[in-house]
Amino acid sequence: MKKFQEEKVTVEGKYPLAGTLAIPEGPGPFPAVLLVAGSGTGDRDGNVKAGKFFPNMYKDLAELISGLGFITLRVDKRGAGESGGNFLETGMMDLVDDIESNIAFLEKHPQVSKIVLLGHSEGCTLITAANARRPVDGLIFLSGAAEPTNDALKRQRKLAAEELLNMKGFKGKLVRLLKAEQKIEKQAQKFNDKIMNSSETVVRFQLQKMNAKWFREHFTYNVFEDLKKVTCPSLAITGSKDIQVTPEKVYDLPNYVQGPTESYVIENMDHILKEVSVAASVLNVIKDYKKNENKPLHPELQRIISQWLQQYI
């Protein structure tokens, strides 16, 4: 039985942002946790309807945290789900603007006593930038911390090249003959050059529309400078089976932040916070994620988040 009530809300920013607010039973006030999603067009629950991908990790996180006596707010990002705006035209700093709007919404709510930002994947970068503008009472970094987006993309390309090079049979021989790794990096550099030499919001690359403004702002953003401005308690968690970020980077966080911090790499947890025995393939990542989408959040993740929130917030 739920110990909280959920309601749909609209947060006013440059565009209306659709969200779900959960408030625990009781007189309050309560500390609040704002969930900030990773990249892509997934909705406030972490689901991508167009891709028939329903891991529900943000919904599960919100229910876990609200069950502990915290208000939670999860919001469809600009241009995704039921929120206004155009996703392809949305830059990284536009997303940070929207986080500020969400923080302002919570600050005005009579039941909110403190505010914690929880970011997943790209959300880790976004909450770092948002906190530098509008300091909050706590930060939780999931599946990404102390790592620029460009570095994470390089890691993904490296793993993809390794998978290609290790292919068996004729395909493997062909990949090695064609020097796939060098070609992947050459294409990446060509893409980066086109993005950085353009001032357009959206560009075409290999016939596909790309959100150039978003890439440019990520590539030029210095996450380490804003991490140095963190004075509140922070928690960083990645999984040992996470192929989209460098798991051990979480241990670099104390080198930058000023407040008390805890860092963990959870064994056998992947990027979507599920317990797995084998890491996903970079070349078939969504297909592999779908195999585990119905699993609950990793039990160790649940334990660490619960303990940290009770201790620091």
Mean pLDDT (the chain, rounded): 92
Domain boundaries along the sequence of the chain: 4-148+222-312, 152-213
Query: pLDDT: is 276 or 177 the higher one?
Result: 276
Q: Which tokens sit at 217?
A: 């702002």
Percent of the chain with pLDDT over 90: 78
pLDDT of residue 170: 54
The string of pLDDT tens digits covering residues 129-157 is 999 999 999 999 999 988 888 888 888 87
pLDDT of residue 166: 66
Ordered DSSP codes for 189-202: HHHHHHHHT---SS
CATH superfamily membership of 4-148+222-312? Alpha/Beta hydrolase fold, catalytic domain (3.40.50.1820)
